Structure 1
Amino acid sequence: MFGQSKTALITALYCRLSRDDELQGDSNSIINQKKILSTYAKQNGFLNIQYFVDDGFSGTNFQRPDFQRMIAEVEQNHVGTIIVKDMSRIGRNYLKVGFYTEVMFRERNVRFIAVNNGIDSDKQGDNDFTPFLNIMNEWYARDTSRKVAAVYRAKGLEGKHTSSHPVYGYLKDPDNKYQWIVDEEAANVVRRIFQMTIDGKGPYQIAGILQSEKVLCPSYYLAQKGVGNNKNKVFADPYRWWGNTVEYILSRMEYMGCTVNFKTYKKSYKDKNRRPAPKDKWSIFEHTHEPIIDEETWHTAQRLRKTVRRPDSLGTPNPLTGLLFCADCGAKMYNERGKGAHGLPRNNYICSNYRKHTADCTMHYIRADVVEKLILDALKKISRFAKENRDEFVHRMMESSSIQQDKEAKACRKQLEKSKKRAAELDTLIRRIYEDNVGGKITDKRFEKLSGEYEQEQSDLEKSIAEIRARLDCFDKQSVKADKFLALIDKYTDFTELTTPMLNEFVEKVVVHQRKKGPRYTFSQQVDIYFNFIGMVKPSETKSECTKDKIPAEHYVAKSTSFAALGQYLQKQKGPSISLTFAEVEKIIGKKLCKSAYKYAAYWYPAFNRPMSNVIYNARFDISSIDLKRCTLSLRNCPI
């Protein structure tokens, strides 16, 4: 046989025992299997015996260590005979068992014997019933899986924990294995992770801090206590924290005292990896064990996790990022930071749809320091009033919240109907272009492009509809939590400075409206601040550039400026407005304008080191419009 003597080949005695087999008693034990196989081998004169043993492995799993080691020996032509107690020891998948016994072993000239089933591949008559045995063995595995799944589901629906081990921060109660108790040492680390998240730190920053402070990672910590899935693992670095470990801890609802079952599932008992289940399939039971994190802190952390905050050239991300929204299109505001004109720092927000040109929206520009001041001023006023008039504050919040929710719910319902109508239109459009494609009216390439665009829009609409419906459900269930807001105010004693934790705990969102132009290049802008628990208390309005009393009377112009003649000319004009061509301006000042005057509209607006525009401003005129193509400018008289 392949150049080797029969006596030199291995006689493989294969034994397997799963956890389910253990329940049947000693008949399937490894010791019993070895005894049966060794006795059979000696009685029938088999030599060069080697045992291959897999203890604690399911028959549906063919990646068993010793089974794979045995197959490797078969592939190297080192095995002459394989003996098992019965067919089910090889496995409980009739297709795979059939492949090994009917194909591989035959091709490699390996004799296969199943003692209790009376099967011997050298005796053709003994093998007629083998395929049926394989099917019966697989049916047994499927039936066992169904029974185990039924017990697992019944246990989960009762609100009992279905996981083998508690999450980091809890231990099993010694007196009741279904009850979790708080492990204070680990729970303090969990509380700190949530607090650092509210302080504005990201998962990888938190992981770096914990690692630098030599805090034991969860897997090693649990292994030291003799629990978890890594009890026998050798850890190269017991202090190694990963960002995804922190994200995993932040995502667990169990820290609020909830039992969450059925978060994963298997499509088939043959699958070895579980898949994430949709959230609507989860079973959530509240108040089943002592919470480590309160509900408000957990939900605040989830909200903060949705916003990616990347450091830029100025260092840490702006804490306002993720809180500001455009009042017109609803998109998040984009933070622009860096060095502006003349090396001055720039830190402002604009509508992200405007920036990316993904929607027809305007800039909605606002400086970060203006938003911070508005929030801090509002917090000072609210906290002062709430502390001095607690009962009146609660009463007002109840009234304003009811009115506000009715208004928002009406807007949501209107948007929902609009989205549903558009989704129905897209179904019709997709059907029409399909018919046009079949009829040859449009090409396949055009059809693929249009159908792709329509399907993407439809997918976006479905997500939007789901979000709106969830929001409406929230309106139905939500009640004013003024008492929780008061508790939050009591937590902070100093409102002189707006800190990141204050911002994240107090503010739900800030809605920024488009700026409105005022006289002398000033703007007014409405900013709506929504607080956690109480919503929008009162719309805030500010002059985002400068208030009326801060309007500069004049801008600096050198006494010897060559543009003084234009200022003298404008001061003599009495009408409400005046139009001039660039040629007329050149005639008044007695020289040619520079190239920038013809190329950039900004040249004509007052700013640092712009003598021409500053002369116009000091003469009490504002620019109404600039037409660079026609080389004309319109000025508006702004008397004091």
Structure 2
Amino acid sequence: GYTNIVHYTDDGWSGGNFDRPAWKRLVADIEAGKVAHLLCKDLSRIGRNYLQTGFYTEVMFRQNGVHFVAVANNIDSEEQDSGEFAPFLNIMNEWYLRDQSKKVSAAYRVKGKAGKPTTNNAIYGYKKDPEDKDHWLVDEEAAAVVRRIFRLAVEGHGPHEIAKILTQEKVECPAYYLARNGRGSRKNTVDTSRPYDWYGFTVSSMLTKPEYMGHTVNFRSSKKSYRDKRVKNDPSDWLIFENTHEAIVDPETWQLAQQVKRTVRRTDTTGVANPLTGLVFCADCGAKMYNHRGKHTRADGKEYRNDTYNCSTYCLTIERETQMCFSHSVSTKALNALILETIRTTASYAIQNREEFIQKVRSISQVRQQEAAKELKRKVAKERRRSAELDVLIKKLYETYAMGKLEEKRFELLCAEYEKEQAELEQLLASEQAQLNQFHEDTDRASHFLALAQKYTDFTELTAPMIHEFVEKILVHAPDRSTGERVQEIEIYLNFIGKFEVPMPEPTEEELAAEEKRRQKRIRDHEKYLRQKERKQKIAEGLIVPGEPYQLVCQCCGESFQSIRPNAKFCKPACREKFYRQEKRKAKETEASQTA
């Protein structure tokens, strides 16, 4: 009998796979000279790949002096005649594996095409229905975590940031949670010493799963042969069956999370990500706007924060010393105030004037689509003409080559160029034709916006979720100073409805007077700024000593006078009274002439 026996068992592993843990340990022991005799039930226990099985039984075992016995097949390596049919047995073992693989794959595809889940385990957030294994039920404890992940994503948090938050709050990670409840593919192998370890790729994978909208997704992966490893399929090859189980996340939130996830958001020194990232663009060159934040110190030692947007092309051209665009600087505070006002007025108008709003959006959408479709049709017609020209050119090229008037090398070069251009044109035509088809689809954008507006009926401040749900893009124009004031146009495009102009009533006399008052104040503030700037320049040049009175000119008598206040207008009280009496008399004369 044999002594010093060791058992090598790979339970649950396929015989077509030689990367089995116990098998690898056995091979290592054989190479180390620890194995003298090897006994197995039959050749299929070694493996079901006839080439590799033959290598081990015919070559490796012999080279390492291992006595091999396959009991059921009557094979003994010390008896030469016993292994004559071993190659045929190995082929039959592999054929059996191939046949079983075909049957399983066929059943798998039938089940998948019928809309039943092809996965053995329900994903995190769901559990299998005890009464129907092909139906999923919501696992409320895990579903609450899933909803929170999507909520954080919509607020602008990235996958790694969300993972960090969940780890800090000691929320059980999916693998540990499922294993604790006796579910999941890793229930026997999960690391129980690290129950709260969340990773960015885990969160990112969860955010892209349509299953959380209540859909069944089959054929995410496949393998061409039973010998190959599974590979991920392109999303276009997935088979999606909608509304097969209860949704954890509504489609609008899921789509919004995908939109936010596509834009990389970097946190600043305070650890806060900018919610406007990827939404603000230069109206002239189309480039993204850079956000500049920082602290600055005044001459008096006081600090103030600067938070502005400017054209990225302009900022980069300063470094390159080449002028490619112009400054489009706008403060983030003013931008946020304008976004808030736009959302508030548009949402309020849409809710209060529902039918009028729907008609207005539809008419604007039709005009936009007609203009875009007209331009696209012209472009498609031009590209089709060029494609037809290429067909003629390629045909003539073949004829010239066949007649011996063109060298083979030159023919191949020209032909490759024409065929490449034609392939690019065909791809472009397919894309543009798809866009044209979309124009003919009637989408009720107004209803979507109304549903969104009703979610936010009362708000006073702008939040990250509001920005992501409402704002499609923002175009910032260069400031216009032709009137003496800095006027800047900013276009805000809202999701579903684009740029929408809310009908505004004619301003009242009180509103006009208030606006004029604000304008006059802006002028005075600007004049004060210019005076202060001029004084600072003179101090820097040594023309004025700090602390000395200002040298000014009286607006009434025109004489020079000194004052400690830079905005003083009159040299004495008598001049001030005289000036305002004259202004009052002029106003009365103007009013009398207008009445007459």
| TM-score, length of structure 1 as denominator length | 0.68
Question: 1:52-63 maps to which residues of 2 (within 5 A)?
Answer: 52-63=8-19
The question of 1:112 aligning with 2:68 is answered yes
CA distance in 1, matches of 2:382, 2:325: 22
Counterpart position of 2:209: 252
Structure 1 pair 478/239, CA: closer, same or farther in 2 (3 Å)? farther
CA distance in 2, matches of 1:69, 1:103: 18
CA distance in 2, matches of 1:284, 1:382: 36
Q: Tell me: higher relative CO, structure 1 or 2? Use CA pairs within 8 A at least 6 residues apart.
A: 2
The question of 1:239 aligning with 2:196 is answered yes
CA distance in 2, matches of 1:204, 1:120: 58
Deviations 1:140-162 (A, max 9, x none): 22222222111111111111111
CA distance in 2, matches of 1:284, 1:101: 47
Deviations 1:108-154 (A, max 9, x none): 12122223333332233333332233233222222222221111111
Counterpart position of 1:556: 530
Maintained 8 Å contact 2:31/2:64: yes
Which of residues 295, 300, 314 in structure 1 aligns to 2:256? 300
Which of residues 88, 109, 121 in structure 2 aligns to 1:132? 88
Which of residues 348, 351, 366 in structure 2 aligns to 1:387? 351
Counterpart position of 1:121: 77
Q: C-alpha displacement at 1:488, in angstroms? A: 2.1
Q: C-alpha displacement at 1:476, in angstroms? A: 4.7
Counterpart position of 1:150: 106
Q: C-alpha displacement at 1:203, in angstroms? A: 2.0
CA distance in 2, matches of 1:344, 1:472: 52
The question of 1:398 aligning with 2:362 is answered yes
CA distance in 2, matches of 1:558, 1:154: 81
The question of 1:263 aligning with 2:223 is answered no
Structure 1 pair 563/61, CA: closer, same or farther in 2 (3 Å)? closer
1:194 aligns to what SS in structure 2? helix
Q: C-alpha displacement at 1:308, in angstroms? A: 1.0
CA distance in 2, matches of 1:378, 1:460: 42
Which of residues 228, 231, 242 in structure 2 aligns to 1:286? 242
Letter in 2 for 1:346: N
CA distance in 2, matches of 1:522, 1:139: 81
Letter in 2 for 1:293: V
Maintained 8 Å contact 1:309/1:321: yes
Maintained 8 Å contact 2:349/2:502: no
Maintained 8 Å contact 1:172/1:180: yes
Counterpart position of 1:614: none
The alignment-based identity, stated in percent, is 47
Deviations 1:397-451 (A, max 9, x none): 222223223334555667788999999999x9xxxxxx99x89xxxxxxxxxxx9
CA distance in 2, matches of 1:109, 1:559: 96
Q: C-alpha displacement at 1:486, in angstroms? A: 1.9
Question: 1:403-552 maps to which residues of 2 (within 5 A)?
Answer: 403-410=367-374, 474-477=438-441, 479-516=443-480, 518-520=482-484, 522-525=486-489, 527-538=490-501, 550-551=522-523, 552=526
The question of 1:362 aligning with 2:325 is answered yes
Q: C-alpha displacement at 1:309, in angstroms? A: 0.9
CA distance in 2, matches of 1:100, 1:360: 71
How many aligned positions are there?
Answer: 495
1:298 aligns to what SS in structure 2? helix
1:51 aligns to what SS in structure 2? coil
Deviations 1:199-227 (A, max 9, x none): 22222222222223332222222112211
Q: Which runs of 5+ in 2 are unaligned?
A: 394-405, 411-416, 504-517, 544-596
Counterpart position of 1:86: 42
Name the stretch that deviates more: 262-271 or 476-485: 476-485
Letter in 2 for 1:266: K
Deviations 1:233-261 (A, max 9, x none): 34113222222222122111111111111
CA distance in 1, matches of 2:20, 2:223: 20
CA distance in 2, matches of 1:350, 1:460: 36
Letter in 2 for 1:494: D
Maintained 8 Å contact 1:516/1:524: yes
Letter in 2 for 1:241: W
Counterpart position of 2:133: 177
Deviations 1:475-515 (A, max 9, x none): 45461232332232222233432221211111122233455
CA distance in 1, matches of 2:277, 2:385: 33
Counterpart position of 2:306: 346
Name the stretch that deviates more: 331-340 or 247-256: 331-340
Q: C-alpha displacement at 1:174, in angstroms? A: 0.7
CA distance in 1, matches of 2:146, 2:532: 63
Maintained 8 Å contact 1:364/1:512: no
Q: C-alpha displacement at 1:294, in angstroms? A: 0.7
Structure 1 pair 100/531, CA: closer, same or farther in 2 (3 Å)? same
Give the alignment's Cα RMSD to 1 decimal. 4.2
2:307 aligns to what SS in structure 1? strand
Counterpart position of 1:634: none
Structure 1 pair 464/556, CA: closer, same or farther in 2 (3 Å)? farther
Letter in 2 for 1:488: L
Name the stretch that deviates more: 170-179 or 84-93: 84-93
Counterpart position of 2:570: none
Maintained 8 Å contact 1:401/1:480: no
Maintained 8 Å contact 1:394/1:482: yes
Maintained 8 Å contact 1:304/1:322: no
| TM-score, length of structure 2 as denominator length | 0.72
Name the stretch that deviates more: 331-340 or 253-262: 331-340
Maintained 8 Å contact 1:481/1:534: yes
Deviations 1:524-573 (A, max 9, x none): 43x33222232332399xxxxxx976353464337996999xxxxxxxxx
Question: 1:197-208 maps to which residues of 2 (within 5 A)?
Answer: 197-208=153-164
Letter in 2 for 1:243: G
Structure 1 pair 422/397, CA: closer, same or farther in 2 (3 Å)? same
Maintained 8 Å contact 2:345/2:502: no
The question of 1:336 aligning with 2:292 is answered yes
Counterpart position of 2:20: 64
CA distance in 1, matches of 2:166, 2:425: 42
Name the stretch that deviates more: 334-343 or 259-268: 334-343
1:162 aligns to what SS in structure 2? coil
Maintained 8 Å contact 1:263/1:277: yes
Q: C-alpha displacement at 1:281, in angstroms? A: 0.7
Counterpart position of 1:638: none
Maintained 8 Å contact 1:253/1:260: yes
Counterpart position of 2:268: 312
